[in-house]
């Protein structure tokens, strides 16, 4: 039975790179009918915060990356780590060390001078026990041979004995280090596949040494190449929003984010658009790319648009109604017609909210530069006629088109000449579906009032 986990350190928010790691671990568990766990790695008391835990878990929940078992907090397990470190000490596989920082600095300098990799010199290894508990515990590392990491993505990776060290497993304040806690927790949780960022690839050598000393089986390692910014450097805050909840606020859908991220480092032929079910069915470890991928916000927007277009109008209506920024009050049938007319033009649900507010709120606010460009004196007479003729007709698309054509013919102008002025009059801007499609979304009287207001506006600027 496959068991995977996502193990965030709560010292910040859930960022795009973390989401991809979580997604791959989740997808693989789902694909294999296994279990996906979440473990909060909050052993670093100074850097961890409650807000960060809440924000990360909120992100996971929003994305639908749900844990199959109760969330584990490392801060609840300090007794267990202490217990296991004592076992290692009594087995002669770890030892307490009370070397001063000064001494450690000195040996470090010496080793660097000798051209060696800095490492602990083993000074406290064989001293008789009995130093008090407030000292660090070091793991007795075998530096005589290299460790081979077998990784699903990177293949066989050798870490030389000279790169190994008697690293610290327990701090003097009683907290375990990451290396110690991760090994114990992955074992206790029965994790079969350790899926994480490749910044931890080399750490796996330490973990393998620890696992062997503790008598634990070595899980399958899957290290994911990092995500780069558009400029090829490591993705960071300066590349724009990293917090996944930012995308929630911007109106992206969780499915689209996951779809975009699944393709960032994994592929199935040329397929770009996946539903969640398709991702689960298709996901495998063997198609993960070894090369790092670049984050591309334009593509994310495109993927979001593709998902939005294939979302049912009913579901979009529901999303629209739930949206905190929606101020326009509009009846549900009209809203459905609005969605049908506008959904192919929107990239995000927020675009639909903005369009809906623009169209259905009074008074219409003109986009200033568009108004200056199109609501000009030369269009006054045709607009007066549009105003008059729309009063006469039955309110349907065909009649709207007919009467506008008649106005154009009378003034010997192309439809393009009145199209934008009408759009601005009715929506405030120049972006909307076709004129008849746009007007029909509104009540006849509303359209007439708005065209009338535009006529007044043109008269005013003509004086
Ligand atoms: N807490 C570690 C991190 O956020 C997790 C590494 C792992 O998955 O083992 O980098
Ligand atoms: Zn020491």
Q: How does pLDDT run across 51-110, given as a tens digit for each residue? A: 999 999 999 999 999 999 999 999 999 999 999 999 999 999 999 999 999 999 999 999
Among the atoms of ligand 1, which is closest to the Cα of residue 200? Answer: 6
21 CA distance to ligand 1 centroid (A)?
10
User: Left if phi > 0, otherwise alpha if psi is -120 to 50, otherwise beta: which for 251?
Assistant: left
Identify the residues whose C-beta falls under 6 Å from ligand 1.
7-9, 41, 182, 196, 200
156 within 8 A of 149, measured Cβ to Cβ: yes
Nearest to 388 by CA among 420, 410, 367, 417: 410
89 CA distance to ligand 1 centroid (A)?
26
329 CA distance to ligand 2 centroid (A)?
71
Rounded Cα distance between 344 and 348, Å, is: 10
Rounded Cα distance between 263 and 271, Å, is: 9
Nearest to 381 by CA among 260, 286, 462, 450: 462
Predicted pLDDT at 241 = 72
40 CA distance to ligand 2 centroid (A)?
31
Longest Cα–Cα distance of the chain, Å, equals 106
Among the atoms of ligand 1, which is closest to the Cα of residue 182? Answer: 9
Domain ranges of the chain: 78-224, 311-360, 368-462
Among the atoms of ligand 1, which is closest to the Cα of residue 5? Answer: 8
Report the SS3 class of residue 64. Answer: coil
Predicted pLDDT at 131 = 61
376 within 8 A of 335, measured Cβ to Cβ: no
Probe target for ligand 1 pocket from 8, 42, 192, 242, with the most ligand atoms within 8 Å of CB: 8
Among the atoms of ligand 1, which is closest to the Cα of residue 18? Answer: 4
Q: Which CATH class is domain 368-462?
A: mainly alpha
Q: Which residues of 271-287 are buried (b: 16+ CB within 10 A; e: fewer)?
A: eebbeeeebbebbebee
Residue located nearest, by CA, to atom 5 of ligand 1: 7
Probe target for ligand 1 pocket from 3, 5, 7, with the most ligand atoms within 8 Å of CB: 7
Ligand in nearest proximity to the CA of 99: 2
Probe target for ligand 1 pocket from 41, 60, 191, with the most ligand atoms within 8 Å of CB: 41
Phi and psi at residue 231, in whole multiples of 5°? -90, 5
Residues of the chain falling short of pLDDT 70 = 128-131
Among the atoms of ligand 1, which is closest to the Cα of residue 203? Answer: 9
- The token pair at 73 is 């907090």
Q: Got the DSSP string for 275-303?
A: -HHHHHHH--STTB-SS-EE--HHHHHHH
CATH topology of domain 78-224: Rossmann fold (3.40.50)
């Amino acid at each position: 039975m496959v068991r995977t986990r996502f193990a965030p350190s709560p010292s910040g928010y859930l960022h795009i790179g973390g989401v991809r790691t979580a997604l791959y671990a989740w997808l693989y568990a789902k694909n294999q009918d296994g279990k996906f766990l979440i473990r909060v790695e909050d052993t670093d008391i100074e850097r961890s915060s409650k807000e960060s835990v809440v924000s990360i878990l909120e992100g996971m929940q929003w994305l639908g990356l749900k844990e199959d078992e109760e969330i584990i907090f490392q801060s609840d397990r300090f007794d267990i780590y202490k217990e296991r470190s004592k076992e290692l000490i009594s087995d002669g596989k770890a030892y307490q060390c009370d070397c001063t920082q000064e001494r450690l600095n000195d040996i470090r300098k010496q080793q660097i001078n000798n051209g060696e990799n800095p490492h602990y010199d083993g000074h406290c290894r064989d001293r008789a026990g009995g130093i008090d508990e407030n000292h660090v515990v070091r793991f007795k590392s075998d530096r005589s041979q290299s460790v081979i990491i077998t990784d699903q993505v990177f293949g066989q990776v050798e870490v030389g004995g000279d790169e190994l060290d008697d690293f610290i497993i327990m701090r003097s304040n009683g907290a375990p280090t990451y290396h110690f806690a991760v090994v114990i927790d992955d074992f206790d949780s029965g994790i079969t596949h350790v899926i994480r960022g490749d910044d931890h690839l080399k750490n796996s050598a330490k973990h393998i040494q620890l696992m062997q000393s503790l008598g634990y089986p070595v899980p399958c390692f899957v290290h994911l190449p990092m995500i780069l910014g558009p400029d090829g450097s490591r993705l960071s805050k300066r590349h724009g929003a990293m917090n996944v909840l930012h995308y929630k606020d911007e109106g992206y859908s969780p499915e689209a984010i996951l779809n975009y991220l699944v393709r960032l480092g994994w592929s199935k032929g040329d397929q770009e658009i996946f539903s969640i079910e398709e991702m689960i069915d298709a996901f495998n470890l063997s198609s993960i790319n070894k090369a790092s991928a670049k984050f591309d916000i334009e593509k994310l927007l495109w993927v979001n648009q593709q998902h939005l277009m294939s979302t049912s109008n009913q579901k979009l209506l529901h999303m629209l109604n739930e949206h905190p920024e929606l101020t326009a009050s509009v009846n549900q049938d009209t809203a459905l017609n609005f969605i049908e007319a506008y959904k192919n033009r929107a990239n995000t649900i927020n675009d639909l909210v903005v369009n809906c507010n623009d169209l259905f709120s009074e008074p219409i606010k003109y986009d200033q530069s568009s108004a200056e460009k199109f609501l000009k004196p030369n269009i006054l007479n045709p607009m007066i006629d549009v105003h008059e003729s729309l009063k006469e007709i039955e309110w349907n698309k065909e009649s709207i088109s007919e009467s506008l054509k008649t106005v154009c013919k009378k003034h010997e102008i192309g439809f393009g000449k009145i199209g934008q002025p009408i759009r601005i009059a009715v929506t405030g801007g120049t972006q909307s579906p076709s004129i008849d499609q746009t007007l029909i979304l509104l009540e006849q009287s509303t359209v007439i009032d708005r065209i009338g207001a535009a006529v007044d506006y043109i008269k005013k600027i003509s004086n």
